[in-house]
A and B are shown apart, each in its own frame.
Chain A
Amino acid sequence: MSSTSSPINLADHEDSSAIELALGGLLVDAPAGLADRTLVAVGLADAYAPIETVIGRIWVAFNGLGVDALESANSPEAFEERIRAIRGRPAHRLGQLPPRLSAAIQRRLHGDRRVAIPLDLRGHSSFEQDVWMKALEIPRGEVRPYGWIAAEIGRPKAVRAVGTALGHNPVPLIVPCHRVVRTDGTIGQYSLGGPANKRTLLASEGLDPEAMEALARAGIRYIGSDTTRIYCLPTCHNAKRISQAHRVWFRSAEDGARAGYRACLSCRPAIAA
């Protein structure tokens, strides 16, 4: 078993300490990028890549916990700087998003609300998160007023705070804050590059922002059907199905109720005062 029992012993000099020394030489440096990838995995750093959308190139930052930022920066450097400023952590650029994440985002942008995209919303208040999760429920091609979100999350008086929370939405497009408009029916502000982008996005979803605003200027808030005697928000998919001949218009929920109409169960218009 020991070296002395070998018939031809050429290894006398290879004593235990030499072996131990050789084994010590097997300590190596970690591969480049291991630390960065690990920090991204635990959420102490972000990775990011661009996606192309109808409003141009958007930068997406994410980590092991989820997507945490979408922004329209002028350059990757500007985006990294912004992530460091608002999140206090580094962002590492990737050539492209991981295929599954990229596919999930594209499906969401095309209106598929069933696809789950994990979001990293650490550091944001529960009120903000309530607002954003409610906005996630608005279908593609429809809009809701700020007051609708306020009422739906049980804070009917917090309309202004809802507007502020939507303005701080860190993941626009994924959380479709472009589908939330002012209670008076005008388009309102948009954090991702301004109101023009909001119009472009709504138009890309099949809406006519000018027609929506014209309706609002005329004081019309709801559309009903004289056959079902149900009233909806104007962009509700149920409202779109009412033929021109059977459409009735209301200025308020009270008008609808007085006329003997009930609120649509899908868009729940009554609470959007």
Chain B
Amino acid sequence: MDEDELPRRLAADLEAAFPGFLELEQGRVYSIALRLTGQPAEAEDLAQDTFIRAYRALSGWEPARIRELAVRPWLASIVVNLVRNRARARAARPATVSLVDELAHPRIAPAETPHGRLERRASTEEWAARLLALPERYRGPVVLRHVDGLSYDEIGLALDRPAGTVKAQVHRGIGILRTMLDAEQSGLLTQAPGQPFRTAARPLEVAR
């Protein structure tokens, strides 16, 4: 199924088109959830919830409204909101150290062999951990722009922010990532990526 044809097909016969739609979009929705939360099991739940909500919404819409739908920003907005709601629900509960999370998803410690800092390769896990260390307001735009590949206009739709704001946030996020990388490589930052992290310029929020 071609992505451009999705709205038309969904509008024509939702039940027939939805499985193909799900097949086509599940990887990116799961990737967004995974890179925003860092938790594979949670990301899977969030991706499933996203598509359940999408299906229920589409079931109630007129075909004309479905045909006008910007599918990718719309799905991105659902998953981003679900991630945010879940984080809020968690924050409302008393803070507990989740040993289960720690065991299931150990943080990546940099391999500090004598030549490690020169030879270290930017593995997927390290980049994922750096993303999680980004403040939330930059992490969403960076993930949607560079992991998912949405345009600034599409991210603006998804996050309900002006495209110019989104663009500035993405650039700022990339700047912070570059600073982290520099600090790691120069040995100034000894914590593993994903740990509380501060620069001299401005204190950063901790991911959780």
Binding site for B on A (CB under 8 A): 1-3, 6-11, 14-16, 19-20, 22-31, 34-35, 37-39, 41-42, 44-45, 64
Contact = CB atoms under 8 A, between A and B. Distances in A.
A38 B148 contact: no
11 contacts: A2-B175, A6-B183, A10-B118, A20-B146, A20-B174, A26-B147, A27-B28, A29-B30, A31-B30, A31-B44, A39-B18
B30 A8 contact: no
B19 A35 contact: yes
Contact of B179 (A3, A20, A24, A25): A3
Given A42-B51, A42-B52, A19 B174 contact: yes
A34 B26 contact: yes
Interface residues of B, number: 48
A100 B81 CA distance: 30
A30 B27 contact: yes
Most buried by A among B40, B146, B188: B146
Contacts of A37: 48
Contacts of A7: 186, 188
Contacts of B19: 35, 39, 44-45
Interface string B1-35: 00000000000000100110011001111110011
Contacts of B31: 26-28
Given A2-B178, A3-B179, A38-B52, A28 B47 contact: no
Contact of B147 (A2, A27, A34, A35): A27
Given A28-B27, A30-B27, A42-B51, A14 B146 contact: no
A35 B142 CA distance: 26
A39 B44 contact: no
A170 B30 CA distance: 36
A22 B128 CA distance: 10
Closest 10 CB pairs between A and B? A23-B146, A30-B26, A30-B30, A8-B186, A42-B55, A6-B182, A1-B201, A10-B185, A38-B51, A11-B182
Contacts of B40: 31
A34 B182 contact: no
Most buried by B among A30, A31, A34, A44: A30
A31 B127 CA distance: 20
B199 A42 contact: no
Nearest to A1: B201
A48 B183 CA distance: 54
Given A35-B22, A35-B23, A19 B178 contact: yes
Contacts of B98: none
Contacts of B147: 23-24, 26-27
A9 B19 CA distance: 50
Interface string B33-52: 01100001000100110011
Most buried by B among A34, A37, A38, A41: A38
A28 B47 CA distance: 13
A28 B147 CA distance: 9
A11 B181 contact: yes
A180 B177 CA distance: 71
Contact of A26 (B23, B127, B179): B127
A54 B131 CA distance: 57
B149 interface: yes
B187 interface: yes
Contacts of A1: 175, 179, 199, 201
B90 interface: no
B96 interface: no
